Amino acid sequence: MHADVCKALAHELRIEIIDVLKDKELNFGEIAKRTEVAKSNLSQHLTVMVQKGILTHRKEGLYVYYKLSSPKVYKAFRIMREVLKERIHKQNELINKFK
């Protein structure tokens, strides 16, 4: 299950969607506007993220609203970003050592 969720996050658009939804619920059109991606492509990614439990959705009239399934999703996202920043910093230190 853990591997499936991580695999589902292995796409830059899905990472962008998490960032867009970090603290709010948005409808499909609002997400499309913020990510500037084709609606058919966005729909596929949102479906995967709902299936994997990363997002939840609800329908209200003609609109479908999406939000993170838990605030912990964004927390995990932030932690991974911090780990990557540390890695880049260490690589830069190594590069600068040999200049």
Domain ranges of the chain: 2-97
CB count, 10 Å around CB of 54?
23
pTM of this structure: 0.83
Residues 6 or more apart whose Cβ sits within 8 Å of residue 31: 17, 20, 21, 42, 46, 66
CB count, 10 Å around CB of 49?
26
- Give, for all 99 residues of the chain, the pLDDT tens digit: 888 888 888 899 999 999 999 999 999 999 999 999 999 999 999 999 999 999 999 999 999 999 999 999 999 989 988 999 999 999 998 888 887
CATH assignment, 2-97? 1.10.10.10
